[in-house]
Structure 1
Amino acid sequence: MANSTPPPAGVYVPAVLFFDENEELDIQSIKAHVLRLAQGGVTGILVQGSNGEAQHLSHDERKTTIRLTRDTLDENGFQNVLVIAGTGGQSTKETKKLCVDAKEAGASHALVLTPGVWAPQMTKERILKFHRDVADASPIPTMVYNFPTVTAGLNLDSDTIGALGEHPNIVGTKLSCADVGKLHRLTSTLPASKFATFPGSSAVYLQGLVSGSAGIIGALPNVAPKAHAELYKLWQEAKLAEAEKLQALLGHADWELQKLGSIAGIKAIVSKHFGYGNVNVRGPLTPRDLEAAGSSSTAKLEELIVVEKAL
């Protein structure tokens, strides 16, 4: 545990899963998506982030899709692309099991969502104990996943996450709250060699880098992995004017994707433009009809896809 290290800085994508018309795993489409993301230059793939419909999967399916992702990467020469597994459960016991499953299936790190069913009882002390107990038991390093939208409004502050970052097996966080102030407080408190802080939205990708983030773990790289890798490169080369221009496009496209419903929207956009996949989701989600949404609702996404295909 003392040697637990954070994932390297870069572009990470919470990959969507594809299903057939019976809501069963569409293996070929999942593999095609993993391969395009890797070819697009991502540093790692998050399996069972919120965009991966984690709560819609059985434990066996969760383990299967982690292994499928790792095997697809390895078989195609992308052994260096990491697989991070979302292991959030509604009890400490279940979350520990999911971390063990993730390790066995080939994940290098676990991203742990705070339980939200009993939100009024989740005091700071209980949140700290939950994440520490999971980290103590996990065979792989864990990261704190802060996403108030899917945890009944629970929003961990920088004091709480910072305290968790002192644990030897807790090595990072994904801030889907998109709070750059919180991100900067963490990056200026915890050393990057011990703790990786990622924004969870492409809308604040460059802003996060300016504030010391480790890159991005966001939904939009499902659509445009190359564009996100390009922005990271521009940042490293100190080409700020070019980076700011690309960031503006990412911000607009990310907003359009949110309005499309994110998960269903990603599948609709990907299946339309990249030659694989479909629009199927597991209920109670419903597919997104891009034609019904109208071309004005995807204008910036379409512009981003032109950029993506030119890279």
Structure 2
Amino acid sequence: MASAPPPGIYVPAVLFFKENEDFDIPAIQAHILRLAQGGVTGILVQGSNGEAQHLSHDERKEAIRLTRKTLDGNGFQNVLVIAGTGAQSTRETKKLCIDARDAGASHVLVLTPSTWPPQMSIENILRFHREVADASPIPVMIYNFPVVTAGQDLDSDTIAALAEHPNIVGTKLSCGNMGKLHRLTTRFPASRFAVYAGRSDLLTQGLISGSAGVIGALVNVLPKVHAELYKLFQEGNVKEAMELQGKLCHAHWAIGRIGGIGGVKTIVSKNFGYGSPVVRGPLKAVDPEGLRANKHYAVIEEMIAMEKAL
């Protein structure tokens, strides 16, 4: 039986580019190390924040390889690397899973194809994920994110049916549906099928409902804050965890109003001394000089001060 990833804090890492859109390897490595030093359990390469759809197959492999090599070379062999392997065909998704294994990932995270939503019946969704899981040489997780899959939102019955597959070991729920999360956590032990909240504003609520943690974009900016909240909860300090959760809720909302992936990169590069705001089109970069004009940025600045104090 394949193993689920351990509980904890996971980050769908952004990928930094030079002005010509080539990989900025020193910045990517600096980001990986700051996240690892901040206490993350694992790094998701090519989640929705990793611009996977903007990369060639060779670039996708290189990003995974670079992440694993950087962690191993700096004493973080215990930090997992999960690879996003979503694609629009079953054939390509299978290949990306093999590539991920070859590049050093321990698990893959798979989106439901979305080019032809009318074709994606429940039967077809089940068939796709099962065929991928049959072919993948490493354990598979289901990625449910309606925003990037043309509105497809897998319900708890569908995900539970997939969880019965011996090579499907977890899910990331970016849909924000706490009822769905709780139904799944009460049906499967986390050691068999790990259920992760896909957003930081549901971290503590998810933990109370039995989740295995979070895989959230805001961790790119605040890994230590997330690790501190997780530690508080594990120690039984639920009241303190919820107080910190309130701050994370506001920060999660704020970062979403600053520009998505471009906003995350700009905030990181402005506050932590590496990288640039460059994104690949059609995404839009966020001007660092305009951050303070955004009314939501003050919330992020307050949380970054907390991050640096930990």
Which residue in the other structure is 1:299 paired with?
Answer: 298
Tell me, yes or no, if the aligned pair for 1:49 and 1:86 is still in contact at 8 Å. Answer: yes
> What is the alpha-carbon distance in structure 2 between the residues aligned to residue 295 and residue 144 of structure 1?
35
- Residue 29 of structure 1 corresponds to which residue in structure 2? 27
Instruction: Map 1:121-136 to 2 at 5 A.
Output: 121-136=119-134
Distance 1:291 1:29 in 2: 20
After superposition, give the CA deviation of every residue in 1:249-295 in whole Å (9 maximum; x if it has no partner).
11101111111122111101000110101100001111112432415
* C-alpha displacement of 1:239: 0.8
Q: Which residue of 1 aligns with 2:176?
A: 178
Give, in whole Å, the separation in 2 of the partners of 1:129 and 1:261: 35
CA deviation after TM superposition for structure 1 residue 297, in Å: 1.9
Q: Distance in 1 between matches of 2:115 and 2:259?
A: 22
Note the C-alpha offset of 1:193.
Answer: 1.6
Matches of 1:216 and 1:261 in 2, distance apart? 21
The TM-score with structure 1 as length reference comes to 0.98
Tell me how far apart the structure 1 counterparts of residues 134 and 126 of structure 2 sit (CA, whole Å): 12
Alpha-carbon deviations, 1:169-216, whole Å to 9, x = none? 000000000111100000001121200000100011101001000000
Q: Secondary structure at the match of 2:75?
A: coil
Trace 1:255-266 onto structure 2 (pairs within 5 A): 255-266=253-264
Q: Which residue of 2 aligns with 1:216?
A: 214
The match for 1:204 among 198, 202, 205 is 202
Counterpart of 1:234 (choices 225, 232, 235) is 232
- Residue from 137, 149, 152 that aligns with 2:150: 152
- Identify the residue that residue 98 of structure 1 maps to in structure 2: 96
**Contact kept? 1:18, 1:277, Cα under 8 Å:** yes
Q: What is the CA–CA distance in structure 1 between the aligned matches of 2:119 and 2:305, rounded to whole Å? A: 48
Return the alpha-carbon distance in structure 1 between the equivalents of residues 104 and 273 of structure 2: 28
Alpha-carbon distance in 2 for matches of 1:160, 1:300: 38
Separation of aligned partners in 1, 2:267 and 2:164: 40
Q: Which letter maps to 2:301?
A: E
Residue 63 of structure 2 aligns with which residue? 65
CA RMSD of aligned residues (A): 0.8
- Could you report, residue by residue, the CA deviation over 1:103-126 in whole angstroms, capped at 9, with x for unpaired residues? 000000000000000011100000
> Is the Cα contact below 8 Å between 2:270 and 2:288 reproduced in 1?
no
Q: Is 232-241 or 69-78 further displaced after alignment?
A: 232-241
Residue of 240, 243, 248 corresponding to 2:246: 248
Deviates more, 1:241-250 or 1:7-16: 241-250
Segments of structure 1 that go 5 or more residues without pairing to the other structure are: none
Question: How many residues in Structure 1 have an aligned counterpart in Structure 2?
Answer: 309
How many angstroms apart in 1 are the aligned matches of 2:177 and 2:64?
29
SS of alignment partner, residue 296 of structure 1: coil
- Which amino acid letter does the alignment assign opposite residue 42 of structure 2? G
SS of 2:183's partner is helix
Instruction: In structure 2, give the amino acid aligned to 1:296.
Output: K
> Is 2:112 the counterpart of 1:114?
yes
Tell me the residue number matched to 2:84: 86
Question: What is the distance in 1 between the residues matched to 2:182 and 2:144?
Answer: 15
Unpaired runs of 5+ residues, structure 2, are: none
Contact 2:6 2:191 in 1 (8 A): no
Alpha-carbon displacement from aligned partner over 1:61-107 (angstroms, at most 9, x marks no partner): 00000000000000000000000000001000000000000000000
Aligned to 2:265: 267
1:220-260, CA deviations, whole angstroms, 9 ceiling, x for partnerless residues?
00000000000000001111121111101111011111111
Residue pair 1:219, 1:262 contacting (<8 A) in 2 also: no
Identity %: 68
Could you give the per-residue CA deviations for residues 29-51 of structure 1, whole angstroms, max 9, x where no partner exists? 00000000000000000000000
Q: Quick one: distance in 2 between partners of 1:191 and 1:212?
A: 9
| TM-score under structure 2 length normalisation | 0.98
Counterparts of 1:10-21 in structure 2, within 5 Å, are 10-21=8-19
Q: Which amino acid aligns with 1:9?
A: P
